Amino acid sequence: MVANKLKKGDTIGIISPSHILDEKEDLEMVNKAVKMMEQQGFKIKKGKYSFCDETGYGTTAQHKAEDINNMFADKDIKAIFSITGGNNCLSTFDYINWKIIKQNPKIFCGFSDTTSLVNEINEQTGLVTYSGPSFKSIASGETDYRFKAVIDRFVNGKNNLFYDEDLDEIKVIRSGKATGKLVGGNLSLTTDLISGNYKIDFKDKILLLEDLVWESPAEKVSHDLYRIKQNGIFDQISGIWVGNYEGEIPLEKILLDTIDDIRFDKPIIKSENFGHAEKKIVIPIGVEAEIDTNQNIKIQILEKFLK
């Protein structure tokens, strides 16, 4: 199930399912992003509880979910962005009306902590969602890379996962060819979805992995990768796409350390254009893609992701 592309005059909803913004600089970035999108002809609608702090660490899980449900139910809203990352997005799951989302397919985009929601919406409803810039970060980069990626994906419907400037950065960690639906994103949050009431299906998927080093140093990355291994996920997936991780020890090294005692003859590639990085492309979650390390472009989308 896919949403419609954005067109001028459409309304974009912005919500805070993870963290509220309480710093002046962050609020300035949100206002800048609003202006950038308005200049493209879009209207912006803020969630009722997007900037509320009822608990001392944000609004309640119920109110976060209320904003999510209302944005999907609102016929005027054509796309929804998480304003920022943070923590605790998973707390909303018990209160989300999955039926409303399924009946009102629309673009939903976020990254970092929102990885859990991006993947869970796809799991529960079949709606293609997006790992991409938070709304704030559209305007917070040193270049217009993120803004261009958003417009190219959601307005122009371009299916590129790389710009020409990115191609030299793609590394082959392990050769091979594989197809599968894209799943994952932030490693810490993806790990939360391997078990429990809200576990997602990893079978025959291409797994995306990235993380933020100051929240997940090498030993934490190792911990999460071993949890994935111990739950048999590496046996189920068809390939791995590693994104940005700015630790002294590369994420791909920790990954290879983790799987060196099991048979893993599936392709692994790495690029710097998704994750907690200046470059942040928009990646559709739940669409079929192909890794082929013999090609110049190592991974490509194979199916429709917008109408």
Phi, psi (rounded to 5 degrees) for 193? -105, 10
CATH 3.40.50.10740 domain span(s) along the chain: 11-154
Rounded Cα gap, residues 25 and 27, in angstroms: 5
User: Does 239 score more than 90 pLDDT?
Assistant: yes
Position of tokens 């994935």?
A: 228
Q: pLDDT at position 23, please?
A: 65
pLDDT, residue 117, reads 97
pLDDT in tens, 116-175: 999 999 999 999 999 999 999 898 776 799 999 999 999 999 999 999 989 888 999 999
Segment 204-223 shows an average pLDDT of: 96
**At what angle are helices 251-259 and 218-230 packed, to 10 degrees?**
40
Q: Is residue 24 very low, low, confident or very high in pLDDT (cuts 50, 70, 90)? A: low
pLDDT at position 241: 98
**Segment 157-166, tens digit of pLDDT:** 999 999 998 9
Q: What percent of the chain has pLDDT over 90?
A: 83
Q: How far is C-alpha 43 from the geometric centre of its chain's CA atoms?
A: 23
Strands (E), the chain: 11-15, 43-46, 77-82, 107-110, 129-131, 171-174, 177-186, 206-210, 239-242, 268-270, 283-285, 288-292, 299-301
Q: What is the pLDDT of residues 65-100, one digit of tens each?
A: 999 999 999 999 999 999 988 888 999 999 999 999
pLDDT number for residue 132 = 95
Distances (CA, A) of 59 to 44, 47, 68, 174, 303: 21, 12, 13, 43, 38
The second-level CATH assignment, the architecture, of 164-301 is: 3-Layer(bba) Sandwich (3.50)
In the chain, which segments carry CATH 3.50.30.60?
164-301
11-154 architecture in CATH?
A: 3-Layer(aba) Sandwich (3.40)
The reply to whether the predicted model has a pTM over 0.75 is yes
